[in-house]
Amino acid sequence: MTSGNRFRIEERGPAQVALIGVIDENADLTTLPAMAQRGMLQLDLGGVTFINSLGVRDWIRLQAAAQAARVSLELCNVAEPIIHQLNMIIATRGTAKVTSFFAPYACDNCGREDSLIVDAVAHAATLARGQAPAMVCKECGAAMAFNDFPERYLAFLQRD
C-alpha cells in the first residue's frame, strides 16, 4: 500500500504495518484502523524520516479514527521526528501505547553518536522516573550518555 511517492505503508504481518518515509499531506493514515485485528494494530514507525504540520493533522485524525473504531494502537520503533511531535503537541499522543522508541546517545570514550532503540516495556520503571536507560557503545563497549535532556525528550511517555 502506498500514498504518494515519499511515503508508503508496508504490511508486516497480521495487524502489523510499517510507516516509511515522509508523513505529510499525501499520507492518508485514517485508513489504518481498518487493518486492525481483534481491536489491535501495531505501527512500526522506525522508517519515518519527517512529519510536517499536515502530517501531524493526519496523525491526530488517525488517533481519533482508531479510538472511534475501538482499535488500540501500539507504536514500536518510534522515530525521533515522531517523538518530537509527541512532545510538542499533546493531541498527537492519543491513547496509543509506545513499546519501543529511538533515542540519542553519545559515547564519551570513543565519540560515537547513535540513535539507539529503547524497549519502553523492559525499561518502564526507569522511564517512569524520567531517566534514560543505560546503554553500551557498540564501538568500544563503554557506557553511553543520553544525548538530550531526559525530562524534555522522554515527556511523551508521561500520561497526565
Q: Residue 30: which domain range?
A: 7-98
59 occurs within a structural domain: yes
24 occurs within a structural domain: yes
111 occurs within a structural domain: no
Cell of 75: 507504536
131 occurs within a structural domain: no
pTM: 0.92
Q: What pLDDT, on a 0 to 100 scale, did the predictor assign at position 141?
A: 97
85 occurs within a structural domain: yes
Q: What pLDDT, on a 0 to 100 scale, did the predictor assign at position 3?
A: 45
The CA distances from residue 111 to 103, 124, 143, 147, in Å, are: 16, 28, 11, 12
Q: How many domains does the structure of the chain reveal?
A: 1
CATH of the domain at 21: 3.30.750.24
> pLDDT (tens digit, 0 to 9) for every residue of the chain, 160 residues total?
444 469 999 999 999 999 999 999 999 898 999 999 999 999 999 999 999 999 999 999 999 999 999 999 999 999 999 999 999 999 999 999 999 999 999 999 999 999 999 999 999 999 999 999 999 999 999 999 999 999 999 999 986 5
According to DSSP, the β-strands at 100-106 and 143-146 are antiparallel
Three-state SS letters, the chain = CECCCCEEEEEEECCEEEEEEEECCCCCCCCHHHHCECCEEEEEEEEEEEECHHHHHHHHHHHHHHHHCCCEEEEECECHHHHHHHHHCHHHCCCCEECEEEEEEECCCCCCEEEEEEECCCCHHHHHCCCCCCEECCCCCCEEEECCCHHHHHHHHCCC
